[in-house]
Amino acid sequence: MEAVAVHPLTTLKVGEILRDVLPPGVLNVVSGDAGLGPRMTEHPGIDMISYTGSTRTGRQVMAGAAPTLTRVTLELGGNDPAIVLPDVDVPAVAEKLFWGAFANSGQVCLAIKRLYIHRDVYEPLKQALAAYAGTVRMGPGTEAGVRLGPVQNRPQYDRILDLLDDSRAHGHSFAIGGHPQGQGQDSPGYSVPLTLVDNPRRTRASSRRSSSVRSCRSSGSTTSRTPSPGPTRASTDSARPSGRPTRKRPWPSADAWRRARCGSTRSSTSPRTSPSRATSSPASAPRAGPRA
């Protein structure tokens, strides 16, 4: 297991805890600079690589593993959405959505980055999220009562500021946050206020890019809970010559798909042959000779 260069202590602590639980050699934790990853992916003694992170780095992992044909499992570029339907309990779901997006200051790969909220509850839920965010204290983790701390490193902090600048440049409104105080190279720390972008355009960078940071986007949706009809086969009347009848056939059943993929378990007979002709009568069937 590779400990991330910008925050290795947690992974090293996990290795220390498991050292007395697992047999020797089952888990090895290594730490180093940015050059450690390429050395691991190119090493012929590693049979499989699992990586979670950006798409750009995932390409480098695949390229490094290609010469030795090392197997890889990649989880890349997450931009996780949450979909809110109109029958929710708004006060109860607001708190759950908040921590789903902002736990650990949003620095979790599976954190919610986008909210798609039904229009019937969009405004009440947006207000509930903003109100709850106002009750969450931010600051240094060593202080009592603080529930959210700063961003972990400078590159990630600068990336957040770029996303916020992009949102402001495109005229987005903010339900909360959006304007860090003292931002820039001379800022005293990497603190960014909780930010909820109100209904941004989906084509913008703030909606397309995975942030893994302390910001979240919300969008009004007209999706209802009306169930969609089952799959139907499109009619091909327009493609047939005039005068020819068109028969609309239903989708094949699960049994039909199974027979098509795996073969029938019955003996093969011609569809034009009746069962009586395909099966020999007991009187005409040849008798088996004596066994040796």
By CB atoms closer than 10 A (0-12, 13-18, 19+), residue 255 is exposed
Distance CA 163, CA 108 (A): 17
Q: What is the pLDDT of residue 16?
A: 92
Choosing from 2, 75, 123, 262, the catalytic residue is: 75
Q: What are phi and psi of 263, to 5 degrees?
A: 90, 150
Is 123 annotated in the active site?
A: no
- Which segments in the chain show pLDDT lower than 50? 182-187, 203-204, 210-214, 221-249, 264-292
Q: What is the pLDDT of residue 142?
A: 83
Summarised one tens digit per residue, pLDDT across range 85-133 is: 999 999 999 999 999 999 888 888 788 888 899 999 999 999 999 999 9
Choosing from 2, 16, 95, 109, the catalytic residue is: 109
Contact in structure between 107 and 212 (CB atoms under 8 Å) = yes
Q: What is the pLDDT of residue 178?
A: 80
Q: What is the pLDDT of residue 81?
A: 87
Q: What is the pLDDT of residue 269?
A: 41
| Structure tokens given for 246 | 């068109």
Summarised one tens digit per residue, pLDDT across range 38-58 is: 888 999 989 999 998 888 889
Distance CA 80, CA 197 (A): 15
Q: What is the pLDDT of residue 72?
A: 94
Q: What is the pLDDT of residue 262?
A: 56
Distance CA 177, CA 130 (A): 9
Distance CA 69, CA 42 (A): 10
Is 109 annotated in the active site?
A: yes
| Structure tokens given for 197 | 């972008």
